[in-house]
Amino acid sequence: MDYIKIRFSDDINQLDPKVEEKIDDMFRSMNPVFSLSECIWKPQMDIYETSEEIIVLAEIAGVSKENLGVEISSRAVKIYGNRAELPRVENATYRLAEIQYGKFERVLFFPVPVDTDKVIATYSNGFLQVRLGKLFTNRTYTIPIAEG
């Protein structure tokens, strides 16, 4: 069985993805070659939650598990990797070329803290699924009082 590499960290100190995207857009408008990050593309992702867990689903077809990484903190997940370009057909005129290749990275912030000890990641049919158990910090506990 092959495993997906997951690195746990409390230091995912990235800008909010929306802020980073605005900065990237601003610099690209001045010079398309300039970019804040090295990322060429951002895969589409879904993030949703149940009462017990948060689920992240990333569409990353064509990326091998060896070229895929996941970093988790209690408040965010960073999914990154590299999709190798397929060989071009010689003597062909491409009429449409939308598939993106190269490095990618996405950072998603969780709506609630997660328990980094309760993480399961699977990769099947071009979809990476990361399931994270919620960290319940607002639970109320009854503490027995001892004689003393």
Do the domain assignments include residue 93?
no
Domain of 22, in residue numbers: 6-85+99-134
Give the tokens for residue 100: 């993106």
Residue 59 CB contacts under 8 Å (≥ 6 apart), including other chains: 43, 44, 45, 126, 127
| 141 falls within a domain | no
H or E segment to which residue 128 belongs: strand 127-134
Q: Is residue 145 in a domain?
A: no
φ and ψ at residue 35, rounded to 5 degrees: -150, 140
Can you give the pLDDT at residue 32? Answer: 47
CB 55 within 8 A of CB 112: no
Q: How far is CA 64 from CA 46, 69, 81, in A?
A: 20, 10, 9
Place of tokens 């209690």: 74
Q: Which helix (H) or strand (E) holds 18?
A: helix 17-30
Residue 20 within a domain: yes
Q: Is residue 37 part of a domain?
A: yes
Q: Is residue 129 one of the residues assigned to a domain? A: yes
Model pLDDT, residue 36: 47
What phi and psi, each to the nearest 5 degrees, are found at residue 22?
-65, -40
Which CATH number do you get for residue 14?
A: 2.60.40.790
pLDDT in the model for residue 35: 46
Please check whether residue 11 lies inside any domain of the structure. Answer: yes
Which residues are CB-contacts of 92 (< 8 A; sequence separation ≥ 6)?
none
Asked if residue 78 is part of any domain, the answer here is: yes
User: Would you write out the chain's pLDDT as a tens digit for each of its 148 residues?
Assistant: 555 565 655 555 555 566 666 666 665 555 544 444 455 899 999 999 999 999 999 999 999 999 999 999 989 999 999 999 988 888 988 888 888 999 999 999 998 999 999 999 999 999 999 999 998 777 677 778 888 7
Grouping H, G, I as helix, E, B as strand and the rest as coil, residue 67 is helix
Closest CA to 40 of 88, 80, 95, 6: 80
**Structural domains in the chain (count):** 1
pLDDT of residue 19: 66
